[in-house]
Amino acid sequence: CRFKCSKKAPSEKPVISHYPPPHTADLVAKTKVAAPRLCGPTFATSDLESQIIRLEGSYNYDTVKLDTPRFAPFVAAGYLVAPSTILSEVPFDPFLPYIFMGEEILLSARLWTSGYDIFSPTHSLLGHHYVRNHQPKFWESIHRTFTFGVHNPLQMLVLNRVKTQLDYPESAKDMMKPKSLFTAVEQYSMGTSRSLEEYLKIVGLDMVTKEVSYTEWCETGVPPPGFEKYTNLYTT
């Protein structure tokens, strides 16, 4: 599905992404059914995550598998197929160390505002080893390198760089310190093809009230608002 999906997606700049099934899944059987799609965002409630957007709603929404990839609101960091132009047009931000939650919503917004359209694959191509109980995690590596307990304060600090770019009012740039937090931020922020305000509205996120609106278009597999001309591709 990697390159076939990209060619069949109704977009000049498609990005194919989702959360793959577990590595124990029967991938041969998975080729015969529609892939899960990443639809459901939430505002984190943990004190350690500073109300950053978590992407949790990955489900098999579709009963019919189509040859045309369906539109999706978000990208997943672990499975992302895109033109190589993203490396120059949406370069990865080297000033976001220690971040786990927050990376995907920021990358999704940057890609969309840079003119890239996001799709889920037509079927699952690979599996991912989730959880990995009793295996080291990246924050434990940071503790071993520096000192125990250092990760969480660092994450809270760096998350403000993410939240500023996503227009969280409490993280407005003129309110944040240290100012070094925004080193070269203009080089790694939103694109100019489409607005962040439009993206947040389409994916149902209100950064002021911290409320999520139901994005029916994602769950039902139809194009998002503004892309209705492609509806006929998804009629079953």
Share of the chain above pLDDT 70, in %: 99
Q: Is the pLDDT of residue 2 over 80?
A: no
Q: In this model, does residue 94 exceed pLDDT 90?
A: yes
For residue 49, what pLDDT is reported?
87
| pTM exceeds 0.85 | yes
Among 40-44, 124-128, 143-147, 228-232, the range scoring the smallest mean pLDDT is 143-147
For residue 91, is pLDDT > 90? Answer: yes
Q: Are 65 and 34 in contact (CB under 8 A)?
A: yes
Count of beta carbons in the 10 Å neighbourhood of residue 181: 17
Whether 4 has a pLDDT exceeding 90, the answer reads no
% of residues, the chain, pLDDT over 90: 75
Q: What is the DSSP letter of 38?
A: E
Taking residues 105-125, what's their average pLDDT? 97
pLDDT at 150: 83
Cα–Cα distance, 183 to 206 (Å, whole number): 26
Reply yes or no on whether the pLDDT at 55 is more than 80.
yes
- Using DSSP, state whether 54 is helix, strand or coil: strand
The answer to whether residue 155 scores a pLDDT higher than 90 is: no
Question: In whole numbers, what is the pLDDT of the chain averaged over residues?
Answer: 92
Give the pLDDT score at 152.
84
Is residue 86 pLDDT above 90, yes or no?
A: yes
Mean pLDDT of 210-231: 94
Q: Supply the pLDDT for residue 153.
A: 86
Taking the C-alpha atoms of residue 124 and residue 2, their distance in angstroms, rounded to an integer, is 10
Report the alpha-carbon distance of residue 145 to residue 205 in Å, rounded: 37
Q: What is residue 100's predicted lDDT score, i.e. its pLDDT?
A: 84
Question: Residue 35 has what DSSP assignment?
Answer: P
Q: What is the pLDDT of residue 224?
A: 96
For the cut 90, the answer to whether the pLDDT of residue 5 exceeds it is no
**Is the pLDDT assigned to residue 122 strictly greater than 80?**
yes
Q: Is residue 3's pLDDT more than 70? A: no
